[in-house]
Amino acid sequence: MKSLVILSISAALLVSGCAEKKPATPEEIWQGYCTSIGNAARTIALDRQNGITKQQAIDYANKVTDATTKGFVLEYLEKIYALPDAELKADKDAVQARFKKEAYEQCVNTPHDPKKMPDYKPF
């Protein structure tokens, strides 16, 4: 009997997990976008720490087609490449985390039009 109850509960949880998700609100979409911007800033820091030149990074960033995303990426590219090498390499993980957090917070606090969200692939 206990196994039947457990089986019934498990089946109910499984079915409820398959239910359709509600559409994301504009604010949830913006927060997801900003998470991607933070991840991009972290990756720029990692790339620089791994020897990617500024010109290589600029060339790659210039392939971004969304103007909002391109603006954030180019801004963080400039900030990260302006950082002295010694500071960049002192604590690699901390530098990456700092830029990720800073970019996310800046993005979240940036005014945006909920009817006109940036076109981006989650990063």
Q: Which residue has the higher pLDDT, 114 or 5?
A: 114
- What distance in Å separates the CA atoms of residue 107 and residue 15, rounded to the nearest whole number? 37
Q: What are the pLDDT digits (tens) for 56-98?
A: 999 999 999 999 999 999 999 999 999 998 999 889 999 999 9
Are 45 and 82 contacting, i.e. CB atoms less than 8 angstroms apart?
Answer: no
Alpha helices, DSSP H, located in the chain: 2-17, 26-49, 54-61, 67-82, 85-90, 92-108
Kindly report whether the global pTM for this prediction surpasses the value 0.85.
no
Helix (H, G, I), strand (E, B) or coil at 113: coil
Whole-angstrom CA distances from 41 to 11, 34, 103, 118 are 42, 11, 6, 17
Pick 18 or 16 by higher pLDDT: 18
Q: How far apart are CA 119 and CA 65, in angstroms?
A: 8
